[in-house]
Amino acid sequence: MAKPVVLTVDDDREVLRAVERDLRRRYAEKYRVLRADSGAAALEALRELKVRNDAVALLLVDQRMPRMSGVEFIKQASELFPDAKRVLLTAYADTDAAIRAINEANINHYLLKPWDPPEENLYPVLDDLLDDWQASFRPAFEGIRVVGSRWSPASHAVKDFLARHHVPYQWLDVEAAERDAEVKRVVASLAADELKRLPVVIFPDGERLKEPTNAEVAERVGLQTRADAEFYDLAIIGGGPAGLAAAVYGASEGLRTVMIEREAPGGQAGSSSRIENYLGFPSGLSGADLARRAVAQARRFGVEILSPQEATGLRVDNQYRFIRLANESEISCHALLIASGVQWRKLDVPGLESLAGAGIYYGGGITEAISCKDEDVYVVGGANSAGQAAMYFSQYAKRIVMLVRGDSLEKSMSQYLIDQIKQTPNIQVELNSSIAEAHGSDHLEAISVHCSASGETTTAPANYLFIFIGAMPQTNWLDGVIERDQRGFILTGADLMPDGKRPRGWTLDRDPFLLETNVPGVFSVGDVRKGSIKRVASGVGEGSVAISFVHQYLSKVG
């Protein structure tokens, strides 16, 4: 943590140097001593310190400065650092003004010039003031801060990205500036052009990114997006449970392994608020916790993780498989495992697309939970993911309304979740219900809900809507190379041979392995594979089993 700051301000450079010298002699071990030769320069320095979230312990300011007096400066500086101790340096003739300033500007003390010797006239006063300041000082948050609007899709994207990559950050909502003094001070320290380009991501060293992309944030926080090598024994596309399990088993058994994840390790499961039925965790665990543990395990075995990074194409050349990435680079491998999972299916309802990220969210939305405090939250869906989200949001929201298209939860949700929902008083389940329309200008303000049983459509105020209605694979990048079904799920093993014949173009004197695609050495596991069981444990199992087939394939590769 950076040392708290002691700032001295004086337009007389000789006096300024003398004050700085005496301050450094006494306080340099515990404080950073800074100086400024005008009130304007000092305010600019304070604004930068505020953006960097540094602490200011004391202001020692000369009263007689042109363009801005010491009292005028202290009044403005106090808006940025209200807890800093304030001391005015005055000449004997200014004593009356200094006494008045104690009431007008909340000055803690005034000192007469000259202050020699400092051991008698300067240090005792400042020692007492700094001791008082230290007694009430609470260190500021030292990590990344995100300044934005809770209704901004771009702000939501940055928060979600940092959270899913387990990067600590502090969220500062500009709309809270009127009721939150800290937010108000940070907003006041930003330039006008920065406030027009929210979100602004502020790093501990003071660097700021305005309206950043995920790639820009990733580079700044040190995430790896470029491969260290051109060739790997095993490349894995997708960092969900299946991909992570394959990475751990592959790397632990000696394969040089790279994993490519387009968003964040953990996949769809990583955004789950709670996984209650995963073997070995009797109290359950969050998807983020599972992802964090799995990533740490993979890295311990030497897995190279590229995230955020996306595969955009695949070509095959003899025993090599070449993967084209979004940054136009290309890596090759002997064996490729596709575990890219699925993406949440979008609802085709008027008003939803324009408000996505501004009150309407697909998936877990864990980063928005605290913002939902004392609000009504609507959850669309009747499967486990929707139930888990409802249980999580019930800790924050005033009321959760689950909109379920079917006539019961038993058809699509695990019994343990149904029981929990029934026992949670602020969760209300509306069966035979679906979203008909979303209303709002810059953010969600209301929704229209259609009841299929009664035929009625009603409109209710709403600021938060979370949608969990199933998912679809994103496999267009495999066109012309890997066989898939009509919905885009990858065909493997027996599904490639419904008539008992090997896939067209198959070059090996054996049938495809259980988890192998129509291209030898290219495997698929997890939710993206046709016929997979959509469970975390199932994905982990497939990922580990696939490595045995990878070894069998590699043993025959020249």
As a whole number of angstroms, the distance between CA 518 and CA 483 comes to 6
* Cis peptide bond prior to 117, omega within 30° of 0: yes
Phi then psi dihedrals of residue 40, to 5 deg: -65, -45
- Domains in the chain, ordered, with CATH? 5-136 (3.40.50.2300), 144-221 (3.40.30.10), 231-342+473-554 (3.50.50.60), 353-471 (3.50.50.60)
Q: Which two tokens stand for residue 381?
A: 């869906």
pLDDT of residue 93: 64
User: In this predicted model, what pLDDT tens digit does every residue of 443-468 receive, in sequence order?
Assistant: 999 999 999 999 999 999 999 999 99
Query: Is residue 388 within 8 Å of residue 475, measured between CB atoms?
Result: no
Check residue 367 and give its pLDDT: 78
Instruction: Round to whole Å and give the CA distance between 509 and 311.
Output: 30
CA 125 to chain centre: 45
Six token digits for residue 129: 């003031």
Mean pLDDT of successive 10-residue stretches along the chain, which has 558 residues = 90 93 94 95 93 91 88 90 90 72 78 88 92 82 87 92 89 88 86 90 90 92 93 97 97 97 88 81 82 92 96 95 95 97 90 93 79 91 92 92 95 92 96 96 95 95 92 94 96 94 92 96 97 91 97 87
Structure tokens at 388: 């888990």
**Residue 421 backbone phi and psi in degrees, to 5:** -65, -40
Give how far Cα 280 sits from Cα of 269, 274, 283, 289, 299, Å.
Answer: 17, 14, 9, 14, 22
Residue 490 gets which letter from DSSP? Answer: B
Residue 558: the pLDDT is 59
Residue found under tokens 């940055």: 158
Cα dihedral 140/141/143/144 (nearest 10):
-100
* pLDDT, averaged across the chain: 91
Strand partners, 437: 448
CB 513 within 8 A of CB 549: yes
Asked, as a colleague might, if the bond just before 498 is cis with ω within 30 of 0, I would say no
Q: Which long-range contacts (CB under 8 A, 24 or more apart) does 441-449 make?
A: 442/151, 442/358, 443/151, 443/355, 443/358, 443/359, 444/355, 444/358, 444/359, 444/360, 445/359, 447/378, 449/403
Cα-Cα end-to-end distance for the chain: 55
Q: How far is CA 66 from each of CA 62, 63, 209, 493, rounded to the nearest angstrom?
A: 11, 9, 36, 83
Sign of CA dihedral 140, 146, 149, 151: negative
One DSSP character per residue, 45-111 reads HHHHHHHTT--EEEEEEES--SSS-HHHHHHHHHHH-TTSEEEEEE-GGGHHHHHHHHHHS---EEE
The length of the chain, given as a count of residues? 558
pLDDT digits (tens, 9 = 90+) for 514-553: 999 999 999 999 999 999 988 899 999 999 999 999 999 9
Nearest to 61 by CA among 69, 53, 52, 50: 69
pTM greater than 0.75: yes
State phi, psi for 488 to the nearest 5 degrees. Answer: 100, 0
Q: What span, in angstroms and rounded, lies between the C-alpha atoms of 194 and 197? A: 5
Residues 6+ apart with CB under 8 A from 528: 238, 338, 339, 340, 341, 342, 473, 475, 489, 490
